Structure 1
Amino acid sequence: MSAESTPESGIPEPAETGPRHRGKGRRRKPRSGSRKALLVTAWTAAGVVVLGGTGAGYVYFKLNGNLRSVDINQALGNDRPTKVDNGSENILVLGSDTRSGKNKKLGGGADDGSARSDTAMIVHVYEGHKKASVVSIPRDTLVDRPRCTDTKGTTHPAASGVMFNESYSTGGAACAVKTVESITGVRMDHYLEVDFEGFQQLIDDLGGVTVTTSKNIDDPQSHLDLKAGTHTLDGEQALGLVRTRHGVGDGSDLGRIQLQQAFIKALIDQVKHVGVFTSPKKLYDLADTATKAVTTDSDLGSVNSLVDFADGLKGISSSHMTMVTMPVRYDPADPNRVLPAKSKARLVWNALRNDEPIPKSATQGTATGEAQGVVS
């Protein structure tokens, strides 16, 4: 499975098909004003809904103190796509690859404090909040990053033909949002980010997530060794699964995205059946971990705001969630990079703007990573 770049990338675009060359508070802001872990952040935050109703002041303030937020709107200003007031919402969800502290071991690499967006997804919640579409953006996509100002006020010049995840490592959340909006022409109403350590702990707090693999997965780099069959993955194994790229498919980031999408659906189904709402301790542990793990935009930067947000997602089951990858094609100059398949991507972005289903034709004939169906 498998978006368009605006402005144009400046990189010649060959045919889009062909083989790979391996060689908030209770008070809502008016809608007219502007909505890894990955998608699970929002779902586990739903636990705050119950806790918030208990009147437990300590719990409320404890969870509120866990949250970190960034003021995306102030950093980006008014030079953004127009907010479409049709009842839908778009959320950019990033899984951060912060290489410091405990995340060094989980992320690999040097303990240099650097950070990258290891996973990026646009979550479009349709009017009525009963269904959603999720569009994964491959981190290895070559894009034109626009000039952007980060939340500390530092301005970064534009760059052409750079990897998508370079936007986050350059200017953090604000530059990542700016780049996504430039590529898609779709305004992001909210921003959610979760780190490796938080993701792993969330899965452990849930008691693991059950998945079925149709093939053996063996990737020493992500410390994952699974035989074909059904497994209940703990946090470390789950993190290995959503990060592996060498153990399945063609070894690309596209294959990893296929695994991430399948895992998220399994995770959502499991959250609905683990009985967290009947176990106060499990509920607290989940809410405590989720609020520690997540960084949000400032509009979601309080427990009450996160309650409103999470409450609006509770009705979306995995069966009402469409998951695709941004339409891309392999870069003929570098088999480890992909380029936006712009005409097909335009179908995706137009669908999101108009609050319509993503047409199947948008992803037909595009690069996939060859890992579909490995995990369910």
Structure 2
Amino acid sequence: MPDRDSKPGRRRAKGRRRKPRPGRGRALRVVAWSAAGVAVLGGTGLGYVYVKLNGNIKSVDINQALGADRPENVDNGSQDILVLGSDSRAGSNKKAGGGTDDGSARSDTAMVVHIYQGHKKASIVSIPRDTLIERPSCTDKDGTEHPAQHDAMFNSAYSTGGAACAVKTVEAMSGIRMDHYVEVDFSGFQDLVDDLGGVQVTTRKAIDDPDSHLELSAGAHQLDGKQALGLVRTRHGVGDGSDLGRIQLQQAFMKALMDQIKHVGVLSSPKKLYDLADTATKTVTTDSELASVKDLTSFANGLKGLGANDMNMVTLPVQYDTADANRVLVDRAKSDQVWKALKADRAVPRSAGRGTAAGTADGVVEQPGE
């Protein structure tokens, strides 16, 4: 079951913010880490649209919601961000998600993004949504208290108590304090990919999944937003149809997306820059410390050196639940290796992934540099 190690977490370093180099301007940088889009996003002033962009951003005060019931802050220069792709079935997400408009929401995708000291490398830990965990007690946005639950599905934390409950659950599992929270929804992810002009991927095998409305032949493709969303959500069209297989596709797409962002010429087109800024700020929900264009700009500037090859992507070590093939259980010994490495700001050891459950979609989508 989940690791409840009580060793300290960490907090953000408080060094001076590096000023942009002359002549480059201040530009909105979009750093997106997939799943349902899953992304860490940054923004710029843009002068005359500053107030409008600020007004687009939605936020949640995680610190107020959780109070002192969190891992200890430790200042060692690293950062930990919980990134969620929301599986809302309300409004514009109904069409994108392919569900009914019942107003419900789940964390369809979850990743802990660990930025190492110096901000030159990152490890990204995907948490399977079907993982059975010990969910801590949570209070929802209406003030209703929900008692702790044994063997709860991980993605139920978000539907039970929203962003604050999702953060509290991850912190209980890992013993690491999340410095930031970023959430991206279905329709926003789709729009971001379209604003970027699509994302190029190469599939080694054909994909045909009626559930995610995705049909791709083997070969190179420039995916639009709808196709990209289908790719990161497909599970029945590739491999063994498991959530673990889908995570492998998400991780491959994430690297392709990072590569696209790095090469897209947003500075040469003020309209493209504005469209990206407008879409990005409408798309995300952040913790209150990132809830302004200025804060997003500073955050993004600290990540601008990261590329696809600087990210180590792993899946939280799990084992299949023998009582239910559709669920997985945390491999405590292996997951301890992951969380302890991140707490110490060290690379995740390869041994953490050996002998654990894995899907069979690996290699369906080529990653940049292969």
TM value normalised by structure 1: 0.88
> Contact between 2:2 and 2:134, CA under 8 Å: does it hold in 1?
no
Counterpart for residue 266 of structure 1? 256
The 1:311/1:151 distance shift into structure 2, 3 A limit, reads: farther
> Contact between 2:334 and 2:353, CA under 8 Å: does it hold in 1?
yes
Matches within 5 A, 1:279-290: 279-290=269-280
Counterpart for residue 240 of structure 2? 250
Give how far 1:4 is off.
Answer: 3.7
Counterpart for residue 364 of structure 1? 354
Q: CA RMSD in A?
A: 1.8
> Contact between 2:38 and 2:109, CA under 8 Å: does it hold in 1?
no
1:107 equivalent among 97, 103, 106: 97
Counterpart for residue 162 of structure 1? 152
1:326 equivalent among 299, 313, 316: 316
Counterpart for residue 175 of structure 1? 165
Partners of 1:367 and 1:258 in 2: CA distance: 12
The 1:194/1:5 distance shift into structure 2, 3 A limit, reads: same
Give per-residue Cα distances to partners, 1:31-84, cap 9 Å, x unaligned.
8xxxx95456655x34x23xx2x5x2x310111000000000111111111122
What secondary structure is seen at the aligned counterpart in 1 of 2:263?
Answer: coil
2:224 equivalent among 211, 234, 239: 234
Give how far 1:30 is off.
Answer: 4.6
Amino acid at match of 1:130: K
Counterpart for residue 9 of structure 2? none
Counterpart for residue 193 of structure 2? 203
Q: Are 1:122 and 2:125 counterparts?
A: no
Counterpart for residue 61 of structure 1? 51
Partners of 1:134 and 1:207 in 2: CA distance: 25
Give how far 1:225 is off.
Answer: 0.4
Give per-residue Cα distances to partners, 1:252-298, cap 9 Å, x unaligned.
10000000000010000011111112211111111110000000000
Counterpart for residue 294 of structure 1? 284
Partners of 1:355 and 1:83 in 2: CA distance: 14
Q: Are 1:316 and 2:314 counterparts?
A: no
Give per-residue Cα distances to partners, 1:135-192, cap 9 Å, x unaligned.
0000000001001223443321111101000000000000000000111111111000
Partners of 1:41 and 1:133 in 2: CA distance: 15
Partners of 2:14 and 2:240 in 1: CA distance: 46
Identity, in percent, stands at: 68
The 1:266/1:317 distance shift into structure 2, 3 A limit, reads: same
Higher RCO, 1 vs 2 (CA within 8 Å, ≥6 residues apart): 1
Q: Are 1:73 and 2:63 counterparts?
A: yes
1:189 equivalent among 169, 179, 182: 179
Partners of 1:271 and 1:29 in 2: CA distance: 26
Give how far 1:314 is off.
Answer: 0.6
Give per-residue Cα distances to partners, 1:10-36, cap 9 Å, x unaligned.
xxxxxxxxxxxxxxxxxx9958xxxx9
Partners of 2:32 and 2:308 in 1: CA distance: 15
Matches within 5 A, 1:4-43: 4-6=2-4, 30=14, 38=33
Counterpart for residue 345 of structure 1? 335
Partners of 1:138 and 1:277 in 2: CA distance: 37
> Contact between 2:32 and 2:257, CA under 8 Å: does it hold in 1?
no
Amino acid at match of 1:6: R
